[in-house]
Amino acid sequence: MSNIPAPKMIFVNLPVSDLPASIAFYEAVGAVRNNDFADDSAQMMGFSETIHVMLLTHDRFRSFTRRAIPNAHETAQVLLALSETSREAVDDVVGRALAAGGAEPNPKQDHGFMYGRNFADLDGHIWEVAWMDMAAAMAAGQGEPAEA
């Protein structure tokens, strides 16, 4: 039995320079608008029932922190990651991101049991998209079963 806690929700807050363009970009890669949490300075986008992205204008983002907003085209503060169901699904998501104006800043990674690619959104925030065959990963010694 796993010692991992029960599922929780995550809300990733991202500063964006053009809210309407960012909304269109995230819709293109598969996120869905949640207009219950939206106004002219923010839009919630859902990737699943538990994974959400809050796109915030720079002014709105600044209302939550005194720290400077880094230029994500030049710096990386976090690498966000999403799982996919297959290699083909990884390629599909990244292909849609590229078609919507994103970039692929890092080379793909293919380890046999794990395949990943990445994209940078319009503001430079990097998303890793990955598929993993858990049984093959365990057989390759990439993980250890959790102790009870």
Per-residue pLDDT tens, the chain, 148 aa: give them.
Answer: 578 888 899 999 999 999 999 999 999 999 999 999 999 999 999 999 999 999 999 999 999 999 999 999 999 889 999 999 999 999 999 999 999 999 999 999 999 899 999 999 999 999 999 999 878 777 777 655 544 4
CA dist 148 and 118 (Å) reads: 34
Count H helices and E strands in the chain, helices first: 4, 8
Please name each of the domains of the chain with its CATH number: 10-65+78-139 (3.10.180.10)
In this structure, the number of other CB atoms found within 10 A of the CB of residue 69 comes to: 14
Q: Is the pTM of this model over 0.85?
A: yes
Q: Does residue 116 contact residue 131 with C-beta atoms inside 8 Å?
A: yes
